[in-house]
Structure 1
Amino acid sequence: MELSLIEILEATSGEIIIEKKSEFNNICIDTRKIQKDNIYLAINGERFNGNKFVIEAFSKGASIAIVDEILFDIKDCEGLGTVIKVENSEKALLDLAKFYRKKLGLKVVGVTGSCGKTSTKDLIAAFLSEKYKVFKTKGNFNNQIGLPLMILELDSSYDVAVLEMGMSNLGEIDVLAECARPDIAVITNIGLSHIENLKTQENILKAKSEIFNYFDEKNTLILNGEDENLLKINNKCFEILRIGYNHEYDVHAFNIILKEDNTTFSVKDNNQDYIFNIPMAGKHNVLNSMLAIGVAKKLNVSFEEMERGINNLEATSMRLEVIKKDKITIINDCYNASPDSMKSSIEVLNTYKNGRKVAILGTMNELGDEAINAHTEVGCYAKEKVELLVAIGDYKDCYKNGFKQDNIITFSNKEEFLDNLKNVIKENDVILVKASRGMKFEEIVNSLEEAEI
């Protein structure tokens, strides 16, 4: 982090309570991860109050602590490090990241959408990587704490930052967009994720659209033209590019070939066809790739450079991660789930020609009143595409009602399934494992990896 103490005070409107001259480097909000000369920023959250752990942070090597409450004896901290008092530590984190982003002056690409954000982020970073030094959001650091922490990991050696922006309610992406100020924004789609809070897809669209709240004529918005909700977005104040399968779009794909572990498609540019092959399965990843190509074209990356950049693709784990064991193949897609992503993953499973196709599906969270219909619809979609459906959790009967076939087994919870795993899974099975994050279906993946089939 390339900031001076004076700049930190300016950005956070902070006041020095205790001062000790020392070196400092990166921000850390977790005392368990403190390293020498870190700045410990005490988050006052719902589950814990970081202000209680300032002395612990100093004892582990922190040189500065930023707090919004004094919950320690000041005499106990004298000589340990510098203490800066701010009005609100979470706001201070956002303000500090906003200040730092402006100081660095690099290009920022913001990515949001109901599903596909992470895969699209990974693809954008890869397509840009041959020409630029690219930073991308790690894991799921895409909220009001995670995003500013990602910005504060940057330094002046980077050319582009690709930042994922998530939300669960209105106003949240606005906060992230004000902090990150993306030059280019990408919206993957508008689905049903978070409809429990937002009630309608119109509100979901409104929430995702906050990503361009601070746009002007210098900014570009890149949209998935195959999503009918995104077709509603029009604006004369900034540039809009659309991607999809229609030749009328700014970037469009054709001659698509779907395989078990890769996807090939063509793109037309200046009346010339260019063929891409990406090591990711599923037609939905064609659209994600087209969004990435749109970003790369906007940043003057040639198709040849994009193709070479694909070799640098680092896909985030638990997103259609194929694990090939001696007797079974596992498709680990249990990081999260929504109706649209469920269907996309089932389509990927359906591309496998050898072995019995098994889908182990769990609960999709945050669907509110749409939950029953959504689980039933996914069950119906799985018909003729899977040879065994294993439905687990509260909505197992909804899956069953939609599937309407005998080749389904239901379990109340994953523990019940794990007790019966060896009776369900057979040699040569290809197994999709998918549910919302809270279901922790990676435990099923781990058991499948260890099982003696």
Structure 2
Amino acid sequence: MINLTLEELLQVTEGYLYNGEMRELSIDYVSIDSRTIKENSIFIALRGDNFNGNLFWKDAINKGAKVIILDEKPYIEGESLQEIIIIVKDTKKALLDLAKYYRKKLEIKVVGVTGSTGKTSTKDLIAAALSDRYKVYKTKGNYNNDIGMPLSILNIHDDVEVAVLEMGMNHAQEIHRLADIARPDVGVITNIGITHIENLKTQENIFKAKMEIADFFQNSNVLIINGDDEYLRKVENKNYKVLKTGIEEKNHIIAGDIVSLENGMRFTFKVNNQNKELFLPLLGVHSIYNCLLAIGVGVTLGATLEEIEKGIENLEATAMRLEIFKKGDITVINDCYNASPTSMKAAIDVLSKKTGKKKIAVLGYMAELGDYTESAHIEIGAYAKGRDIDMLLTLKNVGELYCRGYGNRVKVFDSADELISELNEIAASGDVILIKASRSQHFEEITKGFLNY
């Protein structure tokens, strides 16, 4: 149950009661989408460029919403409604103010996770590392922006002990605003890449934007970072503690003895003069970096190494992150959740180390790279060639760029359907296929199409 009263709703949102009577509330869920409303919900009607949530207040009531927050007065003449309708000046501001207020009421620890790549995987690993000791809530999917993260906070029930919140950004000051709402006790930064460089122009600016997660930190806060990262390695203790993780010896938590297996990674890690071996059910050295950050959070919040190990071995990962599927004796690595040069290289490394006959990369467009778009795609083509990837398939929007890096053996297709058909023809028993692109390219449909062909 979400612990809010009607009086609090009216005060925090600066709204007034348009319909209904003052009474006790029993709220189980908060949503901005009338299609996802459940019984005993609050529906907050947001506006977008192509929609107006105020038009769907009746749909929300029909689904079971008990409280409706609008910034337009609805026409209800002649209707007998028991539901509470609150009118505010700006529903998005009401959402943000309500989330910030509710966060202050929650007597929990909050972990904020940001970085150029690996945020979602790291979030999943942190939640797993803490799961054997605490009741943990984590951001669902990629609810990591200035709408999704406040919604995540408002759906934290009062039995939760630790919340792990993902924080995304496209511009400077966005992480600052999210941190102001979430007030994380522990901050985590995975790395500093060139994702979103289209808006922020330089990696230095990206670094500064990611560091905004610590803008409200005090002596009791801890920032956990990838100490092997070119930019993050220079961060030192300020008015808060900095904990560095990585493979290099200078870090506080260090991984070694790394072995790649068919179903994951095995390694040892050292923390506080203790050594422990761990099996990680994820592929790639980049996954170890993410796991070390999760171990750092676990140790910081008082979990034992045995509890951390048990939780990670029972990891529940977000879909489309290096998922392994089988089509007969063909292995398919589905990594279509998102893509950047860093994550592309990591996925290609996973493919190159897999045991198989032909190694086939199906690669798509990497978004939000701005002036780096051309050079980044050429670089990834060359990287795939250097890792002895046997075939590279792509679509025409980036075909010419991949050819300049990989060579003229790149197969370029006008449509996803044509690519799926050709992939079905050339893939044979024992082959390994990687499918990866930015989320906006919907390459998961290529994975589904090939598996079901």
| TM-score, length-scaled by structure 1 | 0.95
Q: 1:166, 1:207 → 2: CA distance?
A: 10
Pick aligned residue for 1:61 from 55, 59, 64: 64
Matched, 1:364 2:380: no
Amino acid at match of 1:35: K
2:50 paired with 1:47: yes
Q: 1:53 Cα deviation (Å)?
A: 1.6
Deviations 1:381-439 (A, max 9, x none): 111421111122412111111113x5431223323313433333223221000000111
Q: CA 1:437/1:103 → structure 2, altered by over 3 Å: closer, same or farther?
A: same
In structure 2, how many angstroms separate the alpha carbons of the residues matched to 1:190 and 1:437? 20
**Alpha-carbon distance in structure 2 between the residues aligned to 1:48 and 1:174:** 27
Question: 2:155 & 2:83 partners in 1: Cα distance?
Answer: 22
- Deviates most, 58-67 or 298-307: 58-67
Which residue does the alignment assign to 2:390? Answer: 387
Q: Output one character per residue of 1:326-369: Cα deviation in whole Å (capped at 9) or x when no partner.
A: 13111000111000000000011111122311100000011111
Instruction: Select the residue among 250, 253, 256 that pairs with 1:251.
Output: 253
Deviation per CA, 1:304-323, whole angstroms, max 9, x where unpaired?
Answer: 11111123310000000001
Q: Secondary structure at the match of 1:94?
A: helix
Q: What code does the residue aligned with 1:415 have?
A: D
Counterpart contact for 1:360–1:392, Cα < 8 Å:
no
**Identity between Structure 1 and Structure 2 (%):** 48
Q: Is the 8 A contact 1:220 1:240 kept in 2?
A: yes
Q: What is the aligned partner in structure 1 of residue 315 from structure 2?
A: 313
Per mean C-alpha deviation after superposition, the further-off stretch among 48-57 and 314-323 is 48-57
For residues 364 and 123 of structure 2, the distance between their equivalents in structure 1, rounded to whole angstroms, comes to 26
Shift of 1:27: 1.2
Choose 421-430 or 302-311, whichever is displaced more: 421-430
The residue type equivalent to 1:193 in the other structure is T
Is contact 2:403-2:409 (8 Å) kept? no
The residue number in structure 2 matching 1:196 is: 198
For structure 2, the 5+ residue unaligned runs are none
Tell me the amino acid that sits aligned with residue 3 of structure 1.
L
Q: Which residue of 2 aligns with 1:373?
A: 375
**Cα drift, residue 263 of structure 1:** 0.5
Alpha-carbon distance, 1:74 to partner? 4.3
CA RMSD of aligned residues (A): 1.6
CA deviation vs aligned residue, 1:144-171 (integer Å, no higher than 9, x gap): 1111111111122111000001111112
1:346-425 mapped onto 2 (5 Å cutoff): 346-385=348-387, 386-404=389-407, 407-425=409-427
- Is 1:82 matched up with 2:87? no
Secondary structure of the 1:345 match is helix
Whole-Å separation in 2 of the counterparts to 1:293 and 1:56: 44
Amino acid at match of 2:18: I
- For the residue of structure 1 that corresponds to 2:380, the secondary structure is helix
Give unmatched runs, 5+ long, in structure 1. Answer: none
Residue of structure 2 in register with 1:128 after alignment = 130
**Which residue does 2:219 correspond to in 1?**
217
TM-score, structure 2 length as denominator? 0.95
Residues 246-304 of structure 1: CA distance to partner in whole angstroms, max 9, x if unpaired?
22211111111122321011112344421111111100011101101111111111111
Q: Distance in 1 between matches of 2:140 and 2:133?
A: 21
Deviation of residue 76 (structure 1)? Answer: 5.2
Correspondence for 1:6: 7
Matches within 5 A, 1:32-181: 32-70=35-73, 72-75=74-77, 78-181=80-183
Cα distance in 1 for residues equivalent to 2:114 and 2:151: 18
Instruction: Give 3-state SS (helix, strand or coil) of 2:65's partner.
Output: coil
Cα distance in 2, alignment partners of residues 257 and 407 from structure 1: 32
Q: Which amino acid aligns with 1:50?
A: G
